[in-house]
Every structure is written in C-alpha cells, then in structure tokens.
Amino acid sequence: MILIDGKKEAAELRGKLKKEVLALKEKYNKVPGLTVILIGDMTPSQIYVRNKEKSANEIGLNSEVIRYPETVDEKTVLQKINELNNDDSVSGILVQLPLPKHINKQKVIESISHEKDVDGLHPMNVGNLSSGYQGSIPCTPLGCYLLIKKIEPNLTGKKAVMIGRSNLNGKAMAQLLLQEDCTVTITHSKTKDLKSECLAADVIVAAVGIKQLVKGDWVKKDAIVIDVGINKTDKGIVGDVAFDEVSKVAKALTPVPGGVGPMTIACLLKNTIECFKRKMN
Ligand code: NAD
C-alpha cells in the first residue's frame, strides 16, 4: 500500500512555488500578495491562519492577516473587502470560515472580486470550474486532485466516488475528476447504500466529518482512497476512513493528519500565484 505523504508532496509543491515567486519578482519587480481576514478567536481558525501566513512568508509572498473581533459588523468587513479588491498589491483575498452567525457568508463570498477569490468559492469561479474555464479552484479538492494524479496520472474511465457534497469539497472534487474523464458519483447523507457505491469505486474521496465512516469492506482492492475528514477524538485527530482496515485493501491512502491538510495550504499559495499571473497577463 502506498501511504500518500501529503507533507512531502506539499513541501515539494512549496519548493516549486518559491522558485516561481522569485521568477515573478525578477519579471515584474513585485511579488503576489495574500490577505487573510480572520473574524473572532476560534482556535482552529487561528491555527489555520497562522499556518497559512507562515507558509506564504516562507515562499516569499507578501502576506497580511487582518483580525476582527467576533462582534465586528458585516458592513465593516464588506468595506474592508472592497478596499482590498481595489488594492493592486493584493492578489488573493481569503476570509477564514466559519463566520459568526450575524455575518452573511454568501454576501461575504460574493463581495470578494472573483479575480482575487483564492478559495474558489465565488459563484463565478464555481461556474468557471464546472465549465472547464480558468479560475480559482477550491484549495482542498485541488490538493486532493494533485495527490491522486501523482498516484494515477491516467484517470480516464475510472469510477470515482465522492462522499460529501459540500461546495468546498465534494462538488468541486467531482468537477475536477469529471475533467479527467472519470465516471463520477456524488454521495451524501441521504444516499441509500453508501457501501455499495464505495465498493464500485477506483477512487474514493471522503469529505464528511464522521470518524472512520469508510470501513475496510467498503473499499475495492487497489482503490485510491483520499481522506479529507478532520475529526477530533481523545486520541487526537482522525479522518473519515478507518485507516487500519482500509490500508489493508487500498492501493494508496492518505493519512490524517499529514495527508490532505498540508496540500490544502500549499494550494492556497498556488492559487494566490495563479491570481497574480492572470492579472499580469
Ligand atoms: P460539510 O459539513 O459542509 O459537508 C459534509 C458532507 O457530508 C455533506 O454533503 C453531507 O451530506 C455528507 N454526509 C453527512 N453524513 C453523511 C453520511 N452518513 N454518509 C455520507 N455522506 C454524509 O463539511 P465539509 O466542509 O465538506 O468538510 C468535510 C470534512 O472535511 C470535515 O471533517 C472537515 O473538517 C474536513 N475538511 C478538511 C480540510 C483539509 O484541509 N483537510 C479542509 C476542509 C474540510
């Protein structure tokens, strides 16, 4: 079984991106900039944002984090986003989710210029992805896609099953695998027989948030299994896949932690650079 080393793959990708930033600096005499807006003091979000900032600095991007208290009003946030949309030194804007209840998530997502939407959640980018046009692709599915392609460069005709249909994960992942000529099934909480759907799959991407949902006898021999899930337990973080069982049948599997997570951050940096390049061209 191939244990997919997301940390190693992400480090490799960051290395390539660092070189790219240097080349862009040489060519344009400026570097891409990423601005993250963090509202409130939810611990996981704080940690994600700190890691994003650290990684951005490491590869030579300009990075800035704007912090607001939990009580900030929606208007202030939207005004700031408008300001950043018009700031030429900012290539990418990310508003860390989740947001406090009094702030409308859809309004926030739509207020970010689609050209700076490094999360790939703006309706324009969702449309671009489903039409096969250029645009930002959500970071986690993009990371999963790169890991899958490394294991299996030719995905034509493979059966891929997404577990979970969120905009952030399942739906975008399905589009990427469709573009690779996979036959794609999206499953969700109302799917009748999830086990049978999974057993037919050459590629499974689990993005649910239920620990060890995917069992060993749900997986076909030699399937590629990507575990996006992050579930807190007494023994630490675990994924949506029963690792011990599935590792006995799968061809390749991502661990949690150390699989998809590091790739998500590396892809955020990639998206920032892509936004910069599209602007410059
Ligand atoms: P979400 O809650 O928006 O979506 C979960 C999906 O799972 C829904 O579509 C739902 O229909 C489906 N689902 C729920 N119960 C199910 C069941 N019993 N069988 C089949 N499907 C079921 O979650 P999300 O934002 O897509 O995140 C999913 C998981 O991925 C979470 O654990 C989250 O923490 C994790 N995550 C990880 C990363 C990363 O970088 N590794 C990034 C984002 C999210």
- Predicted local distance difference test score (pLDDT) of residue 25: 98
Q: ∠ at Cα 127 (180, 63), nearest 5°?
A: 90
Find the residues whose C-beta lies inside 6 A of ligand 1.
140, 163-166, 168-170, 187-189, 191, 194, 207-210, 228-231, 260-261, 264
Task: Give me ligand 1 centre to Cα 209, in Å.
Answer: 5
The token pair at 195 is: 């086990």
- Predicted local distance difference test score (pLDDT) of residue 237: 95
Question: Whole-model pTM?
Answer: 0.98
> Can you give the C-alpha Rg of the chain in angstroms?
19
Residue recorded with tokens 């986690």? 140
Q: How many helices (H) and strands (E) does the chain have?
A: 10, 11
* Distance in angstroms (rounded) separating the CA atoms of residues 41 and 70: 7
Please identify which of the residues 80, 116, 117, 119 carries the catalytic annotation: 119
Q: CATH fold of 139-261, please?
A: Rossmann fold (3.40.50)
Task: Give me ligand 1 centre to Cα 188, in Å.
Answer: 9
The token pair at 145 is: 């896609």
Segment (H or E) for 23: helix 6-28
Mean pLDDT over residues 84-103, rounded? 97
The token pair at 139 is: 């970071």
Residue 220 appears among annotated catalytic residues: no
Please give the number of the atom of ligand 1 that sits closest to the Cα of 165: 9
Mutate to test the pocket of ligand 1, among 227, 228, 231, 268 (most ligand atoms within 8 A of CB): 228
Percentage of the residues of the chain whose pLDDT score is greater than 90 = 98
Instruction: List the residue whose alpha carbon is closest to atom 17 of ligand 1.
Output: 189
Task: Give me ligand 1 centre to Cα 65, in Å.
Answer: 26
**pLDDT interval class at 42 (50, 70, 90):** confident
Computed over every residue of the chain, the mean pLDDT equals 97
Mean pLDDT over residues 147-172, rounded? 98
* Distance in angstroms (rounded) separating the CA atoms of residues 263 and 147: 8
- Predicted local distance difference test score (pLDDT) of residue 44: 84
The token pair at 15 is: 């290395």
Residue 107 appears among annotated catalytic residues: no
Instruction: List the residue whose alpha carbon is closest to atom 31 of ligand 1.
Output: 209
Residue 251 appears among annotated catalytic residues: no
Question: Is residue 41 scored above 90 in pLDDT?
Answer: no
Q: At what angle do helices 139-151 and 6-28 cross, to 10 degrees?
A: 110
pLDDT digits 0-9 by tens, 19-36:
999 999 999 999 999 999
For the chain, the structural domain boundaries read 29-114, 139-261
What residues contact 179, with CB distance under 8 A and at least 6 apart?
132
pLDDT digits 0-9 by tens, 208-224:
999 999 999 999 999 99
Query: What class has domain 29-114?
Result: alpha beta
Task: Give me ligand 1 centre to Cα 261, in Å.
Answer: 14
Instruction: List the residue whose alpha carbon is closest to atom 32 of ligand 1.
Output: 209
pLDDT digits 0-9 by tens, 170-193:
999 999 999 999 999 999 999 999
Question: Is residue 43 scored above 90 in pLDDT?
Answer: no
Please give the number of the atom of ligand 1 that sits closest to the Cα of 169: 26
Mean pLDDT over residues 27-48, rounded? 93
